[in-house]
Amino acid sequence: MKLTDACIHPYPGGNSSVRRMLKEACELGFDSCIVIHDGPLPAAEITALRGWIISEDSVKAVLARMRNVPSGIDLVMVEARDAAFNRGALSLRGIDILRGISRAPPKSFDHVCARLGAQHQIAIDLNLYPLLHERGGARQEVIRRYEDLIQLCRRFKFPLTISSDAGSILDQRSVREISSLCSLFGMHAWEVTQALATPGEITNRKGPVEVVQ
């Protein structure tokens, strides 16, 4: 079982080099990371999975972007929007992870989205970055959203991933710290481990990314 940080942003998207962030992830207890990076990925002590984020306002635009997935991409991620968008995105073939639930409009991920995620085995990402950087009411709102998401996950059994969304080694966290953060919204330790293993399970079952026609 490989433990994976589901999204890091090395330079130039972030402030730390991809080599340094992979080294840090290894020291923090990870076996792999999904890296958002256009350049070559260096050899490292852990596995670097290449991720691609689609951020569009319509499902039609997402579908158009998916026809041009670059070669060598291991996992395709889509930024969440409102409920109608999320339902459409979760019905598309070729999407691996829906991310950004904490930034989406309220009630944008409901029981219909949960069923679609489970049916198509599309993972929903828990981005820990806002838990580290938001304060007061904004942080409490993220915790409430994630509490609701965990309850839906337990009911409908869709996969989860967990990401630091780090752009610097300063924002990367250890597996133990991530487990503590996730306990704030009610995740059990075994659920955290399962979520950290999800990216590896996705890549094992799907093989190379299929270009949508």
The domain locations on the chain are 4-206
Structural element, H or E, at residue 5: strand 4-8
> Which band of pLDDT confidence, cut at 50, 70 and 90, is reported for residue 73?
very high
Q: Which tens digits make up the pLDDT trace of 22-37?
A: 999 999 999 999 999 9
Question: Taking the C-alpha atoms of 43, 49, 50 and 55 in order, what is their torsion angle to the nearest 10 degrees?
Answer: -150
- The answer to whether the beta carbons of residues 37 and 25 sit under 8 Å apart is no
Q: What is the CB neighbour count within 10 angstroms for residue 204?
A: 9
Task: Please name the residue that has the structure tokens 């953060």.
Answer: 181
pTM over 0.85, yes/no? yes
- The answer to whether the beta carbons of residues 200 and 32 sit under 8 Å apart is yes
Nearest to 4 by CA among 35, 42, 43, 40: 35
Fold of 4-206: TIM Barrel (3.20.20)
pLDDT of 39 reads 86
- The answer to whether the beta carbons of residues 49 and 32 sit under 8 Å apart is yes
pLDDT of 205 reads 80
Secondary structure of residue 144 in the 3-state scheme: helix
Phi first, then psi, for residue 98 (nearest 5°) are -100, 125
CA–CA distance, 188 with 21 (Å, rounded to integer): 27
pLDDT of 113 reads 98
pLDDT of 207 reads 55
